[in-house]
Each structure stands twice: as structure tokens, then as C-alpha cells.
Amino acid sequence: RRSGAPYTLSPSELTASTMVTSAAIAQRLNRLEERGLVSRTKNTSDGRAKRVALTAEGLALVERALPDHLKTEVGILGGLSPQERDLLAGLLARIEATLDQQ
């Protein structure tokens, strides 16, 4: 959903953005596809690769869950000042960059 319309990513992009193994992503995608929440299609620029997209049902589920998710996020970060949130975001970005180099 965060990728924006048309809400598609490759399995590799999902792996990178979630910081879990490719095997874990594959298992999750299999279960989500079985439930009708995502679909996998061929990548038009690389026939060997796949693109993962939310189905209409998957997008509807995300839209229903998002308000609660955001409320939880606000609650977790609510005790931080805007400056502290910026500092946290910067530190997390540095950690992510370190992980990307490994």
C-alpha cells in the first residue's frame, strides 16, 4: 500500500523493506495469495521476475486496518517531541543503511 498506485512491488523490494528473509516473504506471499489478498504477475520489464499487487480485497483490508495501525503508532511515539521523532527517524535510517551494506 505504501508504494502508491498501482500498489505493486517485487518480492525483492518487499524483502528489503521488511527486513525479513526472502524465504519468509515467499511463505507470506503464498498465504496471502491463498487468501486472495495479493496477486503475483509477470514483470513486464523482466519476464523471469514477478510483481506483487494487492487485490481489491487486500486493499480493502489494509484500508480497514490502517486507522488502528496509525492510532497505535501515534500512541507509541506520542511521548516524543518532534525533535526526538526526527532524531529517532535519523537513527533508524542509519541502522537501515548499515543493514543494506551487509
**pLDDT, tens digit (0-9, with 9 covering 90-100), for 20-30:** 888 888 999 99
For residue 22, what are the domain limits?
8-101
Task: Write the pLDDT tens digit of every residue in 9-64.
Answer: 888 888 887 778 888 889 999 999 999 999 988 877 766 778 899 999 998 999 99
Flag whether 74 is in a domain. yes
Domain harbouring 91, CATH code:
1.10.10.10
Task: Tell which phi-psi region holds residue 36, choosing left (phi > 0), alpha (psi between -120 and 50) or beta.
Answer: left
Distance CA 42, CA 47 (A): 6
Residue 2 lies in a domain: no
Q: How far is CA 39 from CA 7, 75, 96, in A?
A: 11, 33, 28
At 33 the pLDDT is 95
CA distance 68 to 37: 19
How many separate domains does the chain show? 1
In a domain, 88, yes or no: yes
Cα–Cα–Cα angle for 89, 76, 99, rounded to 5 degrees: 35
